[in-house]
Amino acid sequence: MFYEQRMTVPDSPAELRAEYEDDLAAIVDNRGPAAVASETDLETETLEALSAGDSPELTLEEAAEIQSLAEGTPDSETIVTMALEHLLLGMSTAVLDVDAVESHLEIEMDAKEVHQKIEGRAPMSFAEFVHVQYVIADGAP
């Protein structure tokens, strides 16, 4: 689950995202795209694309809405909070600041944006979350 603390990651951010999307797709497959759409703010087409193995554009909040439908998981707001807190904790563990995270990102995001997004003061896409999490977990001792 993407909101848990990561200490290891696969070989690339793309592989990490695929791992998470497989988890999300399993939830969609289990409940059905129409049912998930009725319980979230997502469009059925987006959920069908996820279920088909595509990588639709999702926000961190949208991914959390899907994840929250799995049995035994917290609500979506708690998932987002936990995910962001684990990024901050991971930065402490790996002794990384936002400048170090920025310098290792494979996407365009400056240190100020990284800081704002990790603190929840700016919206974060799921892709951005995965890239930031990858850098942090990859830098952990």
Distance CA 26, CA 29 (A): 5
What angle separates helix 76-94 from helix 111-118, to the nearest 10 degrees?
130
**Is 57 a member of any domain?**
no
Q: In whole angstroms, what separates CA 4 from the centre of its chain? A: 10
Q: Which domain holds residue 133?
A: 77-138
**Is 25 a member of any domain?**
no
**Is 118 a member of any domain?**
yes
pTM as predicted: 0.94
- Residue 61 is given by DSSP the state H
Average pLDDT, the chain: 96
**Is 110 a member of any domain?**
yes
**Is 92 a member of any domain?**
yes
Task: Give the pLDDT confidence score for residue 91 in this predicted structure.
Answer: 95
**Alpha helices for 8-104 (secondary structure H):** 13-31, 33-39, 44-51, 60-67, 76-94, 98-104
**Cα dihedral: 67, 75, 80, 88 (round 10):** -110
Percent residues over pLDDT 70 in the chain = 100
- Residue 12 is given by DSSP the state S
Q: Give the contacts of 34 (CB within 8 A, at least 6 positions apart).
A: 44
Domain count, the chain: 1
**Is 64 a member of any domain?**
no
pLDDT along the chain (141 residues), means of 10: 91 96 97 96 96 96 98 97 96 94 95 96 97 93 71
**Is 113 a member of any domain?**
yes
pLDDT digits (tens, 9 = 90+) for 15-26: 999 999 999 999
**Is 14 a member of any domain?**
no
